Amino acid sequence: MMPQPPAALADVRALTFDVFGTVVDWRSSVIRESEALGERLGMTVDWAAFADAWRGGYAPAMDRVRHGELPWTRLDDLHRMTLDRLLEEFGISDALDEAERERFNRVWHRLDPWPDSVTGLARLRERYVLATLSNGNVSLLVNMAKRAGLPWDCVLSAELAGHYKRDPEVYQMAARLLDQPPERVLMVAAHQDDLQAAHREGFRTAFVRRPLEHGPDATPDLSVDPIFDLVADDFDDLADRLGLPGGPRS
Amino acid sequence: MMPQPPAALADVRALTFDVFGTVVDWRSSVIRESEALGERLGMTVDWAAFADAWRGGYAPAMDRVRHGELPWTRLDDLHRMTLDRLLEEFGISDALDEAERERFNRVWHRLDPWPDSVTGLARLRERYVLATLSNGNVSLLVNMAKRAGLPWDCVLSAELAGHYKRDPEVYQMAARLLDQPPERVLMVAAHQDDLQAAHREGFRTAFVRRPLEHGPDATPDLSVDPIFDLVADDFDDLADRLGLPGGPRS
């Protein structure tokens, strides 16, 4: 008998994925490329602190869009605003010309997947439509997928809604474009608030724990909200729990 | 030496594809599935005429949206309006209940690619970002790609612009989402007017001749507008002309 998903998830047809932290390891990737840049340009910087500060600028920058302080601005451009500020704060503003800044800013297009992402997605894709549902802009997500071999059926982005997660419009846009009632869409994320927002729009939810997202010394909140329909340790575990064949443990 | 594209196309980074007729053979696919349905339900109908009439309802239905007579309506729903009318006109309205109509209407999600489409796209994908740019709605294009194995990097649709081709907004939306100036995007289509509209927005253009789109007895206009940057006989020929390795003729 073909393995089956849990009964509550039997009608799910599409999976939507948070990307930064859930599918890709942004922190290690940004640190590694920053270190190489620093070496090439002869800069001595705490690149882990730099990466964390860059990512730390993300939520406040989106809030400026959300509250109307900025018009709709793509994540690439929010990243660039934060980058320019951090180069000043870290005292290395003179070291990078415009071309270097543009190239460095696109490190967010070149993030490496977690070790289980590509194999897990390949298994999940056998049964489900797989779509990103990320705050990254479309071109960022397309470039990332092409480089990393992420087998999306469809690249969906906050950019298409003109709203950033966790605004409800983003989830509603995804269900509408996938032509599925929200209860047939499973949101997959490593962040509780993303899943809670999806749940409020009627999505099913799967929490994938990524304890290393913020580095080996961080102690992220990995607590499980009882509303979550599924909890998994990685994408192969997620595929196992959805009853898909072909896993390393099956 | 790695083969090169023609000089005028050296800066192209992304290819956008018309889908119906250019990538998939809608007519044979619709006729074949219609015949099977007719046999199952005991209907005697000229299914080639039915398929041509169904496709023939496409432009007038889009014009109703374009002229504001209808609000934005997805292609699935335009197809369904045309289907309901044709079932009356062909005298078979009583034979199909609601569930059969819904299933039949989604034959447009189950179209077969031309024989060269999958292999040609795989070669083109080695160098370029490949995106649909179709009037089909996102879910239609995703279902079609999944079934047929079309290796898109990105599914772009008129649905995302709220405008149907050949409205300029559709091409502008594609360049914006791909984050490329239009002259770095090559529109690929079997229809001159699609390429002419893309050209007006600054795209490069490749005409792929599909003499069988309207069946073996049709005599479609295959004339070449001098504005076209490239003319090809199929997707393998297109890959050859763009200097990509790995073709059956290379």
In this structure, are B101 and B225 located in the same domain?
A: no
| CA of B177 vs chain A CAs: smallest distance (Å) | 6
List the CATH number of the domain containing A60.
1.10.150.240
- Give the three-class secondary structure for B46: coil
CB < 8 Å to A143, chain B: 129
Q: Each residue of B224-246: pLDDT tens digit?
A: 999 999 999 999 999 999 999 98
In this structure, are B73 and B155 located in the same domain?
A: no
A5: confidence class by pLDDT, cuts 50, 70, 90: confident
Domain boundary among B109, B124, B152: B109
Which pLDDT score, from 0 to 100, does residue B89 have? 96
Average confidence (pLDDT) over B164-184: 98
Locate the chain B residue with the closest alpha carbon to A173. Answer: B160
Whether the predicted pLDDT of A128 surpasses 60: yes
In this structure, are B76 and B169 located in the same domain?
A: no
Q: Count the alpha carbons within 13 Å of A128 in the hemisphere toward its beta carbon.
A: 31
Nearest to A159 among B129, B143, B177 (CB): B177
Q: Kindly state whether residue A1 falls inside one of the protein's structural domains.
A: no
Q: Do B139 and A177 touch (CB under 8 A)?
A: yes
Q: Each residue of B15-34: pLDDT tens digit?
A: 999 999 999 999 999 999 99
> What number is the ipTM of this complex?
0.96
Which pLDDT score, from 0 to 100, does residue A131 have? 98
Q: CA triplet B93, B113, B169: central angle to 5 degrees? A: 80
In this structure, are A208 and A122 located in the same domain?
A: yes
| CA of A46 vs chain B CAs: smallest distance (Å) | 32
Which pLDDT score, from 0 to 100, does residue B246 have? 85
| CA of A130 vs chain B CAs: smallest distance (Å) | 10
Which pLDDT score, from 0 to 100, does residue A8 have? 85
| CA of B156 vs chain A CAs: smallest distance (Å) | 9
Distances (CA, A) of B153 to A155, A226, A246, B6, B125: 8, 36, 25, 23, 8
Percent of chain A at pLDDT > 90 equals 94
- Token pair, residue B212, equals 């069988």
Whether the predicted pLDDT of A231 surpasses 70: yes
| CA of A192 vs chain B CAs: smallest distance (Å) | 28
Q: Kindly state whether residue B246 falls inside one of the protein's structural domains.
A: no
CB < 8 Å to A159, chain B: 177
Whether the predicted pLDDT of A248 surpasses 80: no
DSSP tag of B160: H
Q: Do A129 and B142 touch (CB under 8 A)?
A: yes
- For residues B129 and A155, what is the distance between their CA atoms, to the nearest angstrom? 13
Domain boundary among B82, B109, B136: B109
Q: Do B129 and A142 touch (CB under 8 A)?
A: yes
- Which residues on chain A place their C-beta less than 8 Å from a C-beta of chain B? 76, 129, 131, 137-139, 142-143, 145-146, 153-155, 159-160, 177-180
Nearest to B139 among A142, A145, A178 (CB): A178
In this structure, are B134 and B229 located in the same domain?
A: yes
Average confidence (pLDDT) over A130-152: 98
Q: Each residue of B126-147: pLDDT tens digit?
A: 999 999 999 999 999 999 999 9
Which pLDDT score, from 0 to 100, does residue A239 have? 98
- Token pair, residue A166, equals 């966790």
Q: Kindly state whether residue B17 falls inside one of the protein's structural domains.
A: yes
Average confidence (pLDDT) over A36-51: 94
Whether the predicted pLDDT of B96 surpasses 90: yes
Average confidence (pLDDT) over B198-205: 98
Q: Do B160 and A160 touch (CB under 8 A)?
A: yes
Which pLDDT score, from 0 to 100, does residue B249 have? 60
Whether the predicted pLDDT of A230 surpasses 90: yes
Residue, of A20 and B1, whose pLDDT is higher: A20
Domain total of chain A: 2
Whether the predicted pLDDT of B248 surpasses 90: no
In this structure, are A42 and A165 located in the same domain?
A: no
Q: Do B154 and A137 touch (CB under 8 A)?
A: no
In this structure, are A158 and A224 located in the same domain?
A: yes
B250: confidence class by pLDDT, cuts 50, 70, 90: low
| CA of A68 vs chain B CAs: smallest distance (Å) | 22
In this structure, are B19 and B37 located in the same domain?
A: no
* Sign of the dihedral defined by the CA atoms of residues A154, A159, A162, A163, in that order: positive
Whether the predicted pLDDT of B2 surpasses 70: no
Percent of chain B at pLDDT > 70 equals 98
Q: Each residue of A200-210: pLDDT tens digit?
A: 999 999 999 99
| CA of B154 vs chain A CAs: smallest distance (Å) | 6
List the CATH number of the domain containing B219.
3.40.50.1000
**Mean pLDDT score of chain B, rounded to an integer?**
96
Q: Do B138 and A154 touch (CB under 8 A)?
A: yes
DSSP tag of B163: S
Structural domain for A199, as ranges: 9-25+113-241
DSSP string of B99-143?
HHHHHHHGGGGSPPBPTTHHHHHHHHTTTSEEEEEESS-HHHHHH
In this structure, are B101 and B118 located in the same domain?
A: no
Q: Kindly state whether residue A35 falls inside one of the protein's structural domains.
A: yes
In this structure, are A143 and A103 located in the same domain?
A: no
Which spans in chain A are helix H? 26-41, 47-56, 58-66, 75-89, 98-105, 117-125, 138-148, 158-161, 168-178, 192-200, 235-241
Q: Do B139 and A76 touch (CB under 8 A)?
A: no
In this structure, are A93 and A130 located in the same domain?
A: no
DSSP tag of B69: S
Q: Do A177 and B129 touch (CB under 8 A)?
A: no
Q: Best of A72, A77, A141, A146 to disrupt the B interface by mutation (most B CBs within 10 Å)? A: A146
Q: Kindly state whether residue B99 falls inside one of the protein's structural domains.
A: yes
Whether the predicted pLDDT of A70 surpasses 90: yes
Which pLDDT score, from 0 to 100, does residue A195 have? 98
Peptide bond into A166 cis (omega under 30): yes
- For residues A134 and B179, what is the distance between their CA atoms, to the nearest angstrom? 17
Q: Kindly state whether residue A246 falls inside one of the protein's structural domains.
A: no
Q: Kindly state whether residue B6 falls inside one of the protein's structural domains.
A: no
Q: Kindly state whether residue B234 falls inside one of the protein's structural domains.
A: yes
Domain boundary among A109, A134, A153: A109
In this structure, are B219 and B137 located in the same domain?
A: yes
CB < 8 Å to B154, chain A: 138, 142, 155
Q: Do A146 and B153 touch (CB under 8 A)?
A: yes
Which pLDDT score, from 0 to 100, does residue A2 have? 58
